[in-house]
Amino acid sequence: MIIGLKYLLNEIQFKVSVLVRQNKNVIAFDLASIGELQFFQDVMLKYISRNPEDIICIIHHDNTIEKFNNEVPSLKNKVFHICNQHFRKGFFPEIDMFITTEQYSLGMKNIFSVCLFHGPSAKGVTFSKQIIDTFDAFFMIGPLHYQTLLEYLERTKTPLPKHLRIFKIGYPKSDALLNGYYSKSKVLKELGIFNDKKTIVYAPAFNEYASLREYGVRIIKILCESGKYNIIVKLPIDCLQPTTNIYATGGINWFEKIRKLQKRYTNLRLFEEYKIDKVLEAADVLITCVSSVGFEFMALNKPVIFINTPKFFNIYLKKRYPQFETSKWINNTTINGGREFGLVVDDINNLENAIEEVLNNPEKYPKNKEKLQKILLYRRGNAKEVATLQLERLLRDKEVKRKKNKYNKNIIDIKNIKRIPFDFSSLIFKKYSLTKKAEQLINYCLNRIGYKIEKTGLGYIDAKTTVLAAKKANMSVCDYIELGFGK
């Protein structure tokens, strides 16, 4: 109840702010999980720096307000927080644009919706018909990402909807990494690792039949027991979900399991920050399976070793796409995470040999370097600026405004008024089934910022009765009435 009330008060303050700050753009950034923040944070901050008067709200799928404030303290009390459930089922016609990095959140029917993808193409699950139908704009990461879309459309015989716009943006998350923001020596020092050994990062995918669930603990033990390397494990953000989320975790607390291994091996570090970029800078070799993180590492011209996981293609993807021969997708670059550019290991007992191979032959790995760099990224190192400018252009676009206006056509213009109609109050109280105390608290908060919810046309309230009741409650008549006890 307290968490729900926190969101509700934020939502009311948001609506009041929209009334006060007329003619400002209102943008909603979708926070599917706290781990997703890294994928839009830089674009959001860039946009706010260029458009400080615009109104920004964060759509929370979980109780992540405090975590958001900890990650971006500069925005505390400067953005509004809305519960995803309220957002999806409620009434938010004020919002001009909805932006998400999780395409499976889907776009909004009545708000211009942009997908700022959370990673390059991999796993064969980047697109679906529903995803394509519900978004108005895709911000594509690179030529390979765009090729993934074209292949999906061809494979499923799906036409590209006329309403969907495609923009060549790049990958804002990697801008800092590509521009040399991180220091390898500094990162290793922070982790308590010294430069006398090569550093290997194991960053697997979370999915069923991917390497973490198939061989994860054994892989880590093999790497650590050689004693030749610094080993860093970076778990996917899906592993942050509770173990009751079988899809994301397989029912295993992977952080707890690997923390136990860390106590056993002095050369092992579990990296628990959300963003992997500084670790990619510090690493000499990346080991993964079907995760798109391999593309991020190869963008640095560094070698990737792929653990072969045929069951992922033969069983996991077959369950999702029974109509296709998914076993053949193991050789498709838009699905397999980029295996053709790395070194594939069938037997995890051969990992040490594979590591020595890529370390001793830097000219060979990644393979086909010239082709790789051509297909990976648009606007290399400059995607944040490109994405921000494109958002600004879209917000000026008549079609973007048309979608909002179509939704808003029956809404009464309440510009410049400082009295919120009681019908609005009733809508809120009825929708969220608020108690009397909650209603009184909301009234009080609104009064503090110069607004009030007023009942009108409901008849005469006897003054003598009100004064006596206020005295009995040990309150001033003013407070008694404004807090709603006089209703």
Question: CA nearest 393: which of 142, 51, 31, 21?
Answer: 51
Q: What span, in angstroms and rounded, lies between the C-alpha atoms of 204 and 199?
A: 16
Mean pLDDT value across the chain: 87
> Is the pLDDT reported for residue 24 higher than 80?
yes
253 and 133 co-located in one domain: no
Count other Cβ atoms within 10 Å, centred on residue 259.
13
CB within 8 Å of 97: residues ≥ 6 apart: 25, 26, 27, 28, 111, 112, 113, 114, 391, 394, 395, 400
264 and 370 co-located in one domain: yes
Distances (CA, A) of 195 to 192, 291, 408, 437: 10, 27, 60, 60
Count other Cβ atoms within 10 Å, centred on residue 257.
14
125 and 41 co-located in one domain: yes
Helix runs in 173-304, H state only: 175-178, 184-190, 211-225, 246-249, 254-264, 277-282, 293-298
Task: Note whether residue 455 is domain-resident.
Answer: yes
109 and 165 co-located in one domain: yes
- Per-residue pLDDT tens over the stretch 205-228: 999 999 999 999 999 999 999 899
Residue 59's SS3 state is strand
> DSSP letter at 180?
T
pLDDT given for residue 421 in this prediction? 43
Task: Note whether residue 355 is domain-resident.
Answer: yes
- Per-residue pLDDT tens over the stretch 2-18: 567 788 888 888 888 88
Strands (DSSP E) contained in 408-455 are 420-421, 453-454
- Per-residue pLDDT tens over the stretch 135-168: 999 999 999 999 999 999 999 999 999 999 999 9
Q: What span, in angstroms and rounded, lies between the C-alpha atoms of 73 and 337?
A: 35
Task: Note whether residue 78 is domain-resident.
Answer: yes
Residue with tokens 């000219």: 363
Q: What span, in angstroms and rounded, lies between the C-alpha atoms of 386 and 46?
A: 10
- Residue 82: in which H helix or E strand, if any? strand 80-83
Q: What span, in angstroms and rounded, lies between the C-alpha atoms of 23 and 97?
A: 14
pLDDT given for residue 422 in this prediction? 38
Task: Note whether residue 415 is domain-resident.
Answer: no
- Total domains in the fold of the chain: 3
Exposed e or buried b per residue across 45-65, where buried means at least 16 C-beta atoms within 10 angstroms of its C-beta: ebbbeebeebbbbbbbbeebb
192 and 324 co-located in one domain: yes
Task: Note whether residue 351 is domain-resident.
Answer: yes
Q: What span, in angstroms and rounded, lies between the C-alpha atoms of 477 and 486?
A: 9
295 and 231 co-located in one domain: yes
Domain carrying residue 71: 2-171+383-408
Q: What span, in angstroms and rounded, lies between the C-alpha atoms of 473 and 80?
A: 35
Q: Which amino acid is residue 431, in one-letter code? A: K
Q: Report strand pairing: 55-60 vs 165-168.
A: unpaired
306 and 437 co-located in one domain: no
137 and 66 co-located in one domain: yes
Residues 274/153, Cβ–Cβ less than 8 Å: no
Residues 249/239, Cβ–Cβ less than 8 Å: yes
Residues 230/192, Cβ–Cβ less than 8 Å: no
- Per-residue pLDDT tens over the stretch 299-343: 999 999 999 999 999 999 999 999 999 999 999 999 999 999 999
Q: Report strand pairing: 420-421 vs 55-60.
A: unpaired
Question: CA nearest 59: which of 48, 42, 44?
Answer: 44
CATH number, domain of 270, equals 3.40.50.2000
230 and 356 co-located in one domain: yes
- Per-residue pLDDT tens over the stretch 58-73: 999 999 999 999 999 9
Question: CA nearest 390: which of 144, 166, 119, 202?
Answer: 166
Distances (CA, A) of 280 to 136, 210, 257, 377, 423: 33, 21, 23, 17, 54
CATH number, domain of 6, equals 3.40.50.11720
429 and 403 co-located in one domain: no
Long-range CB pairs of 367-376, under 8 A, 24+ apart, other chains included: 367/340, 367/341, 367/342, 368/340, 368/341, 369/301, 372/298, 372/338, 372/341, 373/299, 373/301, 374/143, 375/142, 375/143, 375/144, 375/147, 376/120, 376/142, 376/143, 376/144, 376/295, 376/298, 376/299
Task: Note whether residue 414 is domain-resident.
Answer: no
pLDDT given for residue 89 in this prediction? 85
Beta bridge mates, 165: 137
Q: What span, in angstroms and rounded, lies between the C-alpha atoms of 434 and 362?
A: 64
Task: Note whether residue 487 is domain-resident.
Answer: no
Q: Rounded to 5 degrees, what angle do the CA atoms 13, 449, 462 make?
A: 110
160 and 192 co-located in one domain: no
Q: Model pTM?
A: 0.82
Task: Note whether residue 413 is domain-resident.
Answer: no
Query: Burial of 212 by CB count in 10 Å (0-12 exposed, 13-18 middle, 19+ buried)?
Result: buried
pLDDT given for residue 433 in this prediction? 47
Residues 381/164, Cβ–Cβ less than 8 Å: no
Instruction: Of 120-129, 246-255, 310-319, give the lowest mean pLDDT range.
Output: 120-129
CB within 8 Å of 445: residues ≥ 6 apart: 9, 12, 13
- Averaged over 367-387, what is the pLDDT? 96
164 and 206 co-located in one domain: no
Q: What span, in angstroms and rounded, lies between the C-alpha atoms of 485 and 153?
A: 60
For the chain, percent of residues with pLDDT exceeding 70: 82
